[in-house]
């Protein structure tokens, strides 16, 4: 049985360049993760800010022995956005594809199929595997039973399960951060930087429900998937993805590492994570085929 | 001298055989419909076609010179792909003019099994760049792409110059605010994924409640998603058009209850190189289908005649969500 | 001042209907839906599980309601009090002329819902199934009466004119079916 790895997913939020530099320096030095995803996934307008950040982060993380993967936009549309996706696809570094726009340019070289791709079954995963997909992070709404079926039919693909963080639920052509602040998308003043874990969205009756991050809508709830390494292996899962938030991600990774190493049980891991300032109420319902906001026994 | 464009093809919805007959009589060039199971994105109770009804409907439409497209546009459930491939078989068997699909698995099957079967890429595939569209065209021989409702008319014009397939644009009806096929809001609240089951805001999770102040509350999966005062126009119980609190304000965070009406933009869409225009609403009644199809048929004929646009707003207001209309992303200010 | 609330029957007619002969009406309607159920098996199939669920049809301008069960040969229509109707799993409430307009395709159900002329309560899935099945049914007044041939045409035409006149009289919403 191969050891289950940990990955730090791409950060969805508009953090400052300094925050990113500090964050990834600490991840490189301290976090018990094998793999780190870098890059802007949500908003093409933000991309320019971080072009200076990534080279240094890549170097630091690589030196620390982490596998670095460059994530691409979930919804490339404008010319410059498409060019960046195309350039990333054509060069040699490992990339995560989040829109099929990148696939022709990637042409048979290895890539990670990201959670924004609509891969729901064994046959569509096989289609991508035949074109270079080595790893697959399933759409967050896919039940564990379907992930198992797709994994069993594609033994060459490493399945990376979205295990921690607010769930990416939707993307749009419209920016809801700008709209909530009475601004247009073109003159948004990058107000999304005010909410480094997303802008809380409540129902009219005051229930926490969703979170807005520019053109992206996330869950308010925080996905917590805690399963022992043996159970994960049995389901065909080879890696867990932790999605960055402002709480101490080094500590989050430490709890997951202890669980995978068998130091703590799944229940104890949940309890320890719950003591942390999670961005939202714990949830994991999707994996059981239930509503995503629910928390169920897996 | 401007290039004389071909007359726009009018593509219309049908949720029942009766609606299909209504659409054809009202002037539809093409009617799209789905089988009565999870393979299509309007899988509501009492709606859609059995395989026998589909075969009869295709004969009826062809007899009157209209085409029929079968939407097999959800994503196949793992371990049950045969349900989806069977739907493709049914389309081929009854002589449907094309299959509208989004899933790589369904497209792969159709392209390999029936190389002569015409394939349209569903809006659910959310292909909005020349590169993505190129992938579907080169890999599966897709002949037409239904454009995601995130593009402006200017972007559609540029896109049409960069791709070798036909494009089809929505011009009327319900409006997804999120990128279609990339939205898990409904499943987060209810556990049923529109991408997998073909139902957004599944009716068995929708509850309407009248409050003591005679307000109407709409709940989805237990979450209150909208509230209407007495006499205030209502919309579908969809999350993207619900009221929420954010940034200290309550209101329609994502979009108001509103329907798309791009009738006024028909000349610009034609100019932008769009081949076909599409009306949403397989879940709607014959009264809607008849009125909307007839109105757009007239608008297309007028356009071919004197080139004038008609926004059709007055006659179609009663059929729109919240009694309101928008041109959506087609005008850039929407974003 | 408008003497009528939009789409509702005038008070005089409501008063006349109050001591309505409920039992004969129920017998008549039950006979009609059984006739349709036996001739149109496709409709019962389309209804699915909803065929076994009693649905309340509640004309908001009448002092009584209908409880409808469409389960094939045992299909029946009961005339019940408004309170009894409230207990049905799914309920559709609108002025009588609007309900009749839904039956014959004059109105689009979603549009009536948007404008709040139609209220649905309870299990929405059954209301949708019934609505969608009616859309496919193309039911005519003659079918309810079990008539065929020229008599059927006559009854259908006369009823259509009568209803359209009545809708104008009480200021019901304009038909959403545009003239061909």
Q: Specify if A170 maps to a domain.
A: no
Q: How would residue C1 be classed by pLDDT, with cut points 50, 70 and 90?
A: very low
Domains annotated on chain B, with CATH: 9-175+258-334 (3.20.20.70), 185-252 (no CATH)
CA distance C15 to C35: 31
CA distance A114 to A116: 6
Least confident of B56-60, B164-168, B179-183, C7-11: C7-11
Closest CA to B314 of B301, B305, B323: B323
Count up the domains in chain A and report the number.
Answer: 1
Task: Return the partners of chain C (3 or more C-beta pairs < 8 Å).
Answer: B
Min distance B199 CA to chain C CA atoms (Å)? 12
Count up the domains in chain C and report the number.
Answer: 1
Summarize pLDDT for C118-164 with one digit per residue, the tens. 888 888 899 999 999 988 988 877 877 778 888 888 888 888 888 88
Alpha-carbon distances of C140 from A48, B153, C135, C155, C156, rounded to whole Å:
65, 44, 12, 9, 6
Q: Which of A99, A146, A199 sits opposite B78 (nearest CB)?
A: A146
Closest CA to A76 of A92, A95, A53: A95
Taking one residue from B and the other from C, the number of pairs with CB-CB distance under 8 angstroms is 123
Q: Specify if A196 maps to a domain.
A: no
Q: What is the DSSP letter of B276?
A: E
Numbered residues of the known binding site of A for [4Fe-4S] cluster:
43, 175, 188, 192
Mean pLDDT within A204-212: 96
Q: Do chains C and A touch (3 or more CB pairs under 8 A)?
A: no
Distance of CA C23 to the CA centre of its chain: 18
Q: Specify if A230 maps to a domain.
A: yes
* Chain A residues within 8 A of B244 when measuring between CB atoms: 201-204, 209-210
* Chain B residues within 8 A of A169 when measuring between CB atoms: 183-185, 188
Summarize pLDDT for A234-283 with one digit per residue, the tens. 999 999 999 999 999 999 999 999 999 999 999 999 999 999 999 999 99
Q: Which of B77, B128, B221 sits opposite A121 (nearest CB)?
A: B77
Q: What is the DSSP letter of B49?
A: B
CA distance C117 to A102: 49
Name A97's bridge partners.
A113
Asked if B315 reaches chain C (Cβ–Cβ under 8 Å), the answer is yes
Numbered residues of the known binding site of A:
43, 175, 188, 192
Q: Specify if C138 maps to a domain.
A: yes
CB contact under 8 A, C123 and B204: yes
Dig out the tokens for B162 from the structure: 């960069």
The CATH number that applies at residue A59 is: 3.20.20.70
CA distance B241 to B200: 12
The CA-based angle B223-B225-B231, given to 5 degrees, is 135
* Chain B residues within 8 A of A102 when measuring between CB atoms: 131
Closest CA to B19 of B224, B230, B220, B289: B289
Q: Specify if A284 maps to a domain.
A: no
The pLDDT, as a whole number, for residue C115 is 85
Q: Which of B134, B187, B335 sits opposite A173 (nearest CB)?
A: B335
Q: How would residue C180 be classed by pLDDT, with cut points 50, 70 and 90?
A: very low
Which residue did the predictor score with more confidence, A245 or B330? A245
Q: How would residue B198 be classed by pLDDT, with cut points 50, 70 and 90?
A: very high
* Chain B residues within 8 A of A86 when measuring between CB atoms: 131
Which residue did the predictor score with more confidence, C27 or B14? B14
CB contact under 8 A, B18 and C135: yes
CA distance A57 to B110: 45
Nearest chain B Cα to A292, which residue? Answer: B188
Q: What share of chain B is helix, strand, coil (3-state, %, to 5)?
A: 40, 20, 40
The CATH number that applies at residue C47 is: 3.30.1050.10
What range defines the domain where residue C136 resides? 11-169
What range defines the domain where residue A238 resides? 5-165+224-266
* Chain A residues within 8 A of B108 when measuring between CB atoms: 123-124, 127
Q: Do chains C and B touch (3 or more CB pairs under 8 A)?
A: yes
CB contact under 8 A, C121 and B210: yes
Position C168 pLDDT exceeds 60:
yes
């Amino acid at each position: 049985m191969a050891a289950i790895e940990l990955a730090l997913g791409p950060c969805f939020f508009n953090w400052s360049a300094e925050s990113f530099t500090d964050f990834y320096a600490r991840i490189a030095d301290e976090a018990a993760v094998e793999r780190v995803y870098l890059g802007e996934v949500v908003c093409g307008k933000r991309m320019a800010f971080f072009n200076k950040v990534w080279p240094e982060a890549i170097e630091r993380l690589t030196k620390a022995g982490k596998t670095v993967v460059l994530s691409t936009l979930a919804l490339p549309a404008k010319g410059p956005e498409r060019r960046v996706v195309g350039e990333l696809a054509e060069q040699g570094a490992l990339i995560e594809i989040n829109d099929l726009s990148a696939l022709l340019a990637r042409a048979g070289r290895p890539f990670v199929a990201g959670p924004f791709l609509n891969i729901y079954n064994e046959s569509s995963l096989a289609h991508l595997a035949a074109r270079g997909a080595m790893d697959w992070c399933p759409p967050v709404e896919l039940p564990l039973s379907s992930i198992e079926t797709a994994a069993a039919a594609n033994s060459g693909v490493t399945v990376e399960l979205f295990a921690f963080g607010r769930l990416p639920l939707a993307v749009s052509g419209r920016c809801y951060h700008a709209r909530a602040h009475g601004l247009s998308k073109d003159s948004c003043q990058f107000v999304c930087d005010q909410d480094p874990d997303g802008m809380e969205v409540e129902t009219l009756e005051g229930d926490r429900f969703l979170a807005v991050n520019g053109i992206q809508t996330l869950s308010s709830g925080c996905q917590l998937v805690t399963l022992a390494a043996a159970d994960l292996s049995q389901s065909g899962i080879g890696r867990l993805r932790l999605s960055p938030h402002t709480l101490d991600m080094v500590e989050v990774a430490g709890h997951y590492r202890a669980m995978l190493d068998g130091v703590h049980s799944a229940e104890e891991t949940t309890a320890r994570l719950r003591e942390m300032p999670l961005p939202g109420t714990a949830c994991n319902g999707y994996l059981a085929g239930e509503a995503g906001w629910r928390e169920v026994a897996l | 001298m401007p290039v004389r464009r071909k007359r726009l093809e009018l593509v219309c919805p049908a949720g029942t055989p009766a609606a299909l007959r209504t659409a054809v009589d009202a002037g539809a060039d093409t009617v799209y419909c789905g089988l009565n199971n999870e393979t299509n994105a309007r899988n509501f109770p009492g709606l859609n076609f059995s395989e026998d009804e589909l075969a009869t409907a295709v004969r009826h439409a062809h007899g009157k010179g209209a085409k029929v497209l079968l939407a097999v546009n959800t994503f196949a459930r793992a371990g049950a792909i045969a349900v989806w491939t069977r739907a493709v078989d049914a389309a081929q068997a009854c002589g449907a003019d094309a299959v509208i699909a989004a899933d790589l698995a369904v497209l792969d099957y159709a392209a390999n099994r029936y190389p002569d079967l015409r394939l349209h890429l569903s809006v659910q595939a959310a292909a909005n760049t020349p590169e993505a569209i190129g992938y579907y065209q080169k890999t599966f021989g897709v002949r037409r792409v239904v454009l995601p409702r995130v593009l402006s008319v200017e972007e559609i014009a540029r896109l049409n110059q960069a791709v070798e397939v036909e494009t089809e644009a929505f011009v009327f009806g319900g409006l997804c605010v999120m990128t279609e096929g990339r939205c898990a809001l409904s499943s987060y609240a209810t556990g049923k994924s529109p991408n997998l089951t073909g139902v957004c805001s599944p009716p068995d999770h929708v509850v309407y409640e009248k409050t003591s102040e005679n307000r109407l509350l709409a709940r989805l999966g237990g979450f209150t998603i909208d509230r209407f005062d007495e006499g205030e126009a209502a919309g579908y119980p969809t999350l993207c058009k619900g009221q929420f609190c954010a940034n200290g304000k309550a209101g329609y965070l994502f979009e108001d209850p509103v329907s798309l009406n791009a009738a006024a933009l028909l000349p610009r869409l034609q100019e932008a190189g769009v081949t076909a225009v599409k009306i949403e609403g397989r879940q709607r009644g014959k009264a809607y289908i008849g009125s909307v199809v007839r109105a757009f048929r007239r608008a297309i004929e007028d356009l071919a005649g004197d080139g004038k646009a008609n926004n059709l707003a007055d006659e179609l207001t009663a059929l729109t969500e919240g009694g309101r209309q928008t041109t959506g992303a087609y005008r850039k200010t929407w974003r | 001042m408008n003497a009528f609330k939009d789409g509702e029957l005038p008070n005089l007619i409501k008063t006349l209907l109050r001591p309505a002969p409920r039992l004969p009406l129920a017998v008549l309607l039950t006979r009609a839906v059984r006739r349709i159920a036996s001739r149109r098996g496709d409709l019962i199939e389309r209804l699915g599980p909803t065929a076994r669920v009693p649905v309340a049809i509640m004309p908001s301008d009448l002092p009584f309601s209908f409880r409808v069960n469409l389960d094939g040969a045992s299909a029946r229509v009961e005339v019940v009090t408004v309170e009894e109707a409230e207990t049905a799993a799914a309920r559709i409430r609108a002025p009588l002329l609007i309900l009749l307009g839904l039956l014959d395709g004059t109105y689009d159900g979603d549009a009536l819902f948007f404008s709040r002329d139609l209220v649905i309560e309870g299990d929405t899935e059954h209301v949708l199934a019934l609505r969608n099945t009616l859309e496919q049914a193309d039911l005519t007044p003659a079918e309810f009466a079990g008539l065929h041939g020229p008599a059927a045409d006559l009854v259908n035409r006369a009823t259509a004119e009568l209803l359209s006149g009545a809708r104008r009289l009480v200021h019901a919403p304009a038909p959403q079916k545009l003239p061909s």
